[in-house]
């Protein structure tokens, strides 16, 4: 199967099916997620350094590659908006958000909110995530420029 997966069926097959876990999210989290360390100062949450991000086991190497690239390029002070979050897709409430699988991250949410002009996102982030095969929400018909995910067509 191709990686990253394309479409809901491939995402479910690759990353697991969260739909039975609405009432037991702790079990879902234990099953699929791990913590990944982030260098101090790279991502900031309310002005504080984010020490770890919580991502899918299978997405962790790709997130790690991005973090390594950003560190190598001296990128720091990026506003963090979250990774794992068991919730519906804000642009399509009939679907789960890719954040539910821990395969998505939001960065610079204040400057680049859902629905905003993609031109304001940091090009160093766009390049680093693209290199690691993430899809950038800034390319979508309804742009979500803070959003990067390790899946296509969903
Ligand atoms: Zn997002």
Domain range summary for the chain, segments of one domain joined by +:
7-149
Token pair of 21 as six digits: 């876990």
Assigned architecture for domain 7-149: 2-Layer Sandwich (3.30)
Task: Encode pLDDT of 55-75 as tens digits.
Answer: 999 999 999 999 999 999 999
CA 85 to ligand 1 center in whole angstroms? 9
Query: Which residues surround the ion ligand 1 when the cut-off is CB under 5 Å?
Result: 104, 106, 147
- Ranges assigned E (strand) in the chain: 33-37, 43-45, 48-49, 52-56, 78-82, 104-107, 135-136, 147-149
Give pLDDT, residue 91: 83
Taking the C-alpha atoms of residue 102 and residue 45, their distance in angstroms, rounded to an integer, is: 18
Give pLDDT, residue 1: 73
Give pLDDT, residue 92: 82
CA 54 to ligand 1 center in whole angstroms? 14
Q: Which residues of the chain have pLDDT under 50?
A: none
CA 73 to ligand 1 center in whole angstroms? 23
């Amino acid at each position: 199967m191709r990686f990253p997966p394309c479409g809901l069926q491939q995402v479910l097959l690759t990353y697991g099916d969260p739909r039975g876990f609405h009432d037991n999210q702790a079990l879902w989290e234990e099953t699929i997620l791990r913590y990944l360390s982030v260098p101090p100062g790279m991502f900031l949450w309310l002005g504080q350094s984010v020490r770890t991000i919580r991502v899918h086991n299978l997405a962790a190497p790709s997130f790690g590659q991005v973090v390594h690239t950003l560190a190598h390029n001296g990128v720091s002070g990026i506003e963090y908006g979250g990774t794992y979050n068991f919730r519906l897709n804000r642009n399509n409430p009939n679907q789960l958000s890719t954040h539910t699988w821990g395969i998505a991250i939001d960065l610079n949410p204040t400057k680049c909110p859902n629905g905003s002009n993609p031109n304001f996102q940091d090009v160093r982030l766009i390049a680093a995530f693209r290199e690691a095969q993430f899809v950038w929400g800034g390319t979508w018909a309804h742009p979500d420029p803070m959003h990067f995910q390790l899946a296509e067509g969903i």
